[in-house]
């Protein structure tokens, strides 16, 4: 089988890198990892060796190059259809795709004011009315998914899917910035944090030496 190679940025900071990495690890795919430190004088040239967009993450698979977190996950779902990338039931699968795309394209205030920093703890920092609106929308998504599709496990659709990978960096942000959650959302966030793959990522992030000013 042709080797999968995932090119990522710093684990402490690169939220987009976490998404496909977590999905691949959690679903048991074997892959080679290339980590490139971001925001150094060499970062751009190093990333350009692999990524036509000049951004991470990027997946290399044989002669194919796939960039963008969601595109990588969708590609892998086609390549490895036996794995549980998306819910089996049509309505749940449709919602999973929709909320994954919404995560991909929305919540700019949250991203800007509460950047991912796994090692740090900044309770209350970055909270603005616009950020609160993003948080309210995200927690509504979580509650509705857990209520409507969560039977059979602790994830949004019961078992782990791409949707959980897409929202995992948000879970990290909520921990870093001490965002208060209701019982349902807090239980979900704790379940994501406890995933073996997520724990592996967090351990590696804590061991990194690079510091990027927020």
Structure-token pair, residue 53: 């967009």
What mean pLDDT comes out for the span 158-175? 98
Give the pLDDT confidence score for residue 214 in this predicted structure.
Answer: 61
Residue % of the chain over a pLDDT of 90: 95
What number of other Cβ atoms are within 10 A of residue 150's Cβ?
21
Question: Which residue, among 7, 1, 2, 17, has the nearest Cα to 201 in the 3D structure?
Answer: 17
Please, which pLDDT band fits residue 107 given cuts at 50, 70 and 90? very high
pLDDT above 90 for 8: yes
What mean pLDDT comes out for the span 31-35? 98
Strand (E) or helix (H) holding 140: helix 129-149
- For the chain, list the domains and their CATH numbers: 4-83 (3.40.30.10), 90-199 (1.20.1050.10)
Q: What is the tens place of the pLDDT at every residue in 56-83?
A: 999 999 999 999 999 999 999 999 999 9
Q: Is the peptide bond before 187 cis (omega within 30 degrees of 0)?
A: no
pTM: predicted TM-score of the whole model, two decimal places: 0.96
pLDDT above 80 for 1: no
Q: What is the tens place of the pLDDT at every residue in 10-24?
A: 999 999 999 999 999
Question: Which residue, among 87, 105, 83, has the nearest Cα to 96 in the 3D structure?
Answer: 87
């Amino acid at each position: 089988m042709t080797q999968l190679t995932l090119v990522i940025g710093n684990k402490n900071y690169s939220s987009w890198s976490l998404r496909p990495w977590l999905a691949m690890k959690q679903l048991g795919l074997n892959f080679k990892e290339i980590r490139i430190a971001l925001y150094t004088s060499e970062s751009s040239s190093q990333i350009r060796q692999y990524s036509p967009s000049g951004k991470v993450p990027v997946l290399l698979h044989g002669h194919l190059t796939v960039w963008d977190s969601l595109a990588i996950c969708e590609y892998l779902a086609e390549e490895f259809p036996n794995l549980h990338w998306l819910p089996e039931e049509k309505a749940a699968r449709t919602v999973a795709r929709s909320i994954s795309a919404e995560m991909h394209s929305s919540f700019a205030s949250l991203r800007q004011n509460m950047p991912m920093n796994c090692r740090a703890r900044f309770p209350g920092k970055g909270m603005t009315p616009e950020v609160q609106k993003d948080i309210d929308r995200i927690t509504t998504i979580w509650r509705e998914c857990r209520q409507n599709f969560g039977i059979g496990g602790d994830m949004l659709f019961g078992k782990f899917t791409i949707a959980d990978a897409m929202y995992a960096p948000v879970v990290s942000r909520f921990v870093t910035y001490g965002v208060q959650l209701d019982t349902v959302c807090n239980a979900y966030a704790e379940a994501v944090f406890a995933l073996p793959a997520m724990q592996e990522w967090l351990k590696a992030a804590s061991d990194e030496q690079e510091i990027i000013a927020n």
